[in-house]
């Protein structure tokens, strides 16, 4: 079988439960909105696919002319000319394939770029509460797997559907013109091609779901054990041998699932190949009888046989087009789910400038109350660290109530209290990592909610309890807060932190 068979196997690996998924109103319109910048490329890609289908349908007809006219009538010049036409079609088809790949890649990679940038920028604007509740691995999956799955709507799914439909129409028209009897016989054999795929699909779907779960569990284990804190905990209190055995167990299950999946795929491939061979034998048998009785020319029989693969591969692939389309829609919806979560910390409508003062500004807490936001305000159930079908909208209890104090410019104040008393929370309210529930926090008499977020955080620094360094140079980490800092300023910062001698 040709590429259509492989696409059939690929489509079986997706979860068929997506057929029953109910999509939010306007999903298709939003998807088309992302594809709008590439509409010209999409039109050209579709035109190239249609052109390829028509040109490919001409090849068996040329076979027929070579045999029934050129060879039968011993017209060598016609044979040479038609052979040359086959060569020209092959060249044109190859060039066409290159252009198809160019436009498909341009559309696909462009969509990946746009979606990833949109999701990354949106996630960056989410409050800290979002990150404290979200599984990092699940969020990364939205930026990787789901984005790639979404872009397939405009690349592989579009090209497969258009290409298969065009090929099917061109093939059926040509076959019906050559012999309607053999064409009908070929269509009667179609269930033999679909049944193996239908039988294997539920089993392959179930084991694919299990593979995703086991892969996720294995990835989570590696993430937790390979960071500094996790590695230190295992070395001090854990049992490395037990950890290795547990990882081996999970990896072994992934291996076993991989073998089973490969065998299911091979069964489908062997079945399709066998059915194609049997269909070809049947067409040659029936067609041969027609040839012997004078009802069919030899060249016509050869052309009909050549059309068989072009008939069964598209029909088999199109039988699962609903799954392919719905899968890409699910990927898009999972991306939209992240984009639709509005950040709690909003920019002021009319921002004011950060207050300027030679000796700094005062920090004023005015009757501040605060409760952490409800889960529905800052998170998505499918990204939660603890698996949940729906999130609670119940507000949390007040952590701070009636807090008022002033820190004068240039002064140092220590907040003392037991764990959970709200010391870190008070510090996080100044740069608007969270917004107060009631009252106000002001800098130099200006409510922090009136200052543009970037402007506010350019002037307010917070040293957290947990230090984090990105995998960059020390200089790049230091420049994160002040990108335009000079080498002298960096040296002074290192000296203030008492680590300059170590650098």
Coil, strand or helix at 321: helix
Query: Count of H helices and E strands in the chain?
Result: 19, 4
238 phi, psi to nearest 5 deg: -90, -170
How far, in Å, CA of 4 to CA of 316, rounded?
7
| Per-residue pLDDT at 438 | 92
| Per-residue pLDDT at 22 | 60
How far, in Å, CA of 22 to CA of 252, rounded?
36
Coil, strand or helix at 407: strand
How far, in Å, CA of 84 to CA of 102, rounded?
27
Q: Per DSSP, what are the bridge partners of residue 156? A: none
> Helix 298-318 and helix 180-188: axis angle, to 10°?
30
Q: In the 8-state DSSP scheme, what is residue 37? A: G
pLDDT tens string, the chain, 503 residues long: the values are 444 444 443 444 444 444 445 666 677 888 888 888 988 999 999 999 999 999 999 999 999 999 988 898 888 899 999 999 999 999 999 999 999 999 988 998 888 899 899 989 988 888 888 888 887 777 887 788 778 878 877 778 888 889 989 998 999 999 999 888 888 888 887 777 677 767 776 676 677 667 766 776 787 778 778 877 777 777 777 677 888 888 898 889 888 988 888 888 788 778 777 877 888 888 888 888 888 888 888 988 889 888 887 887 787 777 667 667 777 777 888 888 888 888 888 888 888 988 887 677 899 999 999 998 888 777 777 777 555 555 666 677 888 889 999 998 888 888 888 887 888 889 889 999 889 999 999 998 899 999 998 888 888 888 777 777 777 788 888 888 778 888 888 888 888 878 888 77
Handedness of CA 108, 135, 216, 234 (dihedral sign): positive
Q: For the chain, what percentages of helix, strand and coil (3-state, to nearest 5) are there?
A: 70, 5, 25
How far, in Å, CA of 476 to CA of 460, rounded?
20
CA distances in angstroms from 36 to 23, 61, 101, 114, 158, listed in the order given: 21, 39, 19, 12, 15
125 phi, psi to nearest 5 deg: -90, 0
| Per-residue pLDDT at 50 | 94
* 3-state SS track over 346-400: CCCCCCECCCCCCCCCCEEEEEEEECCCCHHHHCCHHHECCCCCCCCCCCCCCCE
How far, in Å, CA of 213 to CA of 469, rounded?
31
**Yes or no: domain 3-339 corresponds to CATH 3.40.50.10490:** no
| Per-residue pLDDT at 189 | 76
| Per-residue pLDDT at 8 | 40
How far, in Å, CA of 18 to CA of 331, rounded?
10
CATH topology of domain 363-468: Rossmann fold (3.40.50)
The continuous run of DSSP H or E covering 336 comes out as: helix 321-339
**Same CATH fold assignment for domains 3-339 and 363-468:** no
How far, in Å, CA of 173 to CA of 371, rounded?
70
The CA-to-CA distance between both ends of the chain, in Å, stands at 63
> Helix 298-318 and helix 240-292: axis angle, to 10°?
150
Count of residues in the chain: 503
Q: What is the dihedral of CA 368, 446, 479, 115, to 10 degrees?
A: 80
How far, in Å, CA of 396 to CA of 50, rounded?
59
How far, in Å, CA of 320 to CA of 156, rounded?
14
Coil, strand or helix at 439: strand
Whether this prediction's pTM lies above 0.75 is answered by no
| Per-residue pLDDT at 7 | 43
Q: Where exactly are the structural domains of the chain?
A: 3-339, 363-468
């Amino acid at each position: 079988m040709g590429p259509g068979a492989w696409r059939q196997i690929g489509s079986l690996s997706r979860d068929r439960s997506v057929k029953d998924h109910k999509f939010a109103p306007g999903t298709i319109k939003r998807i088309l909105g992302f594809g709008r910048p590439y509409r010209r490329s999409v039109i050209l890609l579709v035109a190239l696919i249609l052109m390829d289908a028509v040109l490919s349908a001409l090849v068996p007809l040329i076979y027929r002319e070579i045999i029934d006219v050129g060879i039968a009538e011993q017209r060598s010049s016609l044979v040479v000319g038609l052979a040359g036409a086959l060569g020209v079609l092959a060249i044109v088809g190859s060039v066409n394939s290159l252009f198809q790949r160019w436009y498909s890649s341009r559309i696909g990679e462009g969509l990946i770029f746009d979606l990833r940038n949109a999701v990354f920028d949106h996630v960056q604007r989410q409050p800290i509460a979002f990150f404290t509740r979200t599984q990092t691995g699940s969020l990364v999956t939205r930026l990787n797997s789901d984005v790639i799955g979404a872009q397939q709507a405009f690349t592989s799914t579009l090209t497969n559907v258009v290409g298969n439909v065009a090929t099917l129409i061109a093939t059926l028209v040509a076959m019906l013109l050559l012999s309607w009897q053999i064409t009908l016989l070929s269509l009667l054999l179609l269930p033999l091609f679909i049944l193996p795929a239908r039988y294997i699909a539920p089993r392959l779907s179930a084991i694919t779901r299990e593979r995703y779960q086991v892969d996720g569990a294995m990835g989570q284990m590696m993430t937790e054990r390979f960071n500094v804190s996790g590695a230190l905990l295992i070395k001090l209190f854990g049992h490395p041998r037990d950890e290795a055995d547990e990882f081996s167990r999970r990896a072994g299950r992934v291996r076993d699932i991989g073998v089973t999946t490969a065998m299911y795929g091979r069964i489908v491939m062997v079945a399709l190949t066998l059915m194609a061979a049997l269909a070809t034998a049947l067409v040659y048998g029936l067609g041969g009888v027609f040839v012997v009785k004078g009802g069919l020319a030899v060249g016509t029989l050869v052309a009909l046989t050549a059309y068989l693969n072009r008939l069964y591969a598209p029909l088999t692939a199109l039988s699962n087009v609903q799954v392919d389309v719905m899968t890409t829609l699910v990927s898009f919806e999972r991306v939209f789910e992240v984009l639709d979560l509005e950040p709690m910390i909003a920019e002021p409508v009319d921002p004011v400038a950060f207050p300027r003062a030679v000796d700094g500004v005062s920090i004023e807490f005015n009757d501040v109350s605060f409760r952490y936001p409800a889960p529905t305000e800052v998170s998505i159930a499918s990204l939660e660290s603890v698996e949940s079908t729906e999130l609670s909208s119940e507000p949390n209890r007040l952590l701070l109530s009636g807090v008022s104090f002033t820190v004068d410019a240039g002064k140092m104040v220590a907040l003392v209290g037991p764990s959970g008393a709200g010391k870190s929370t008070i510090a996080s309210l100044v740069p608007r990592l969270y917004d107060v529930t009631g009252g106000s926090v002001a800098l130099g008499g200006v409510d922090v909610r009136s200052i543009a977020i970037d402007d506010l955080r350019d002037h307010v620094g917070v040293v957290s309890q947990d230090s984090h360094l990105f995998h960059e140079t020390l200089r790049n980490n230091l420049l994160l807060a002040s990108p335009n800092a000079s080498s002298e300023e960096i040296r002074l910062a290192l000296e203030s932190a008492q680590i300059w001698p170590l650098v």
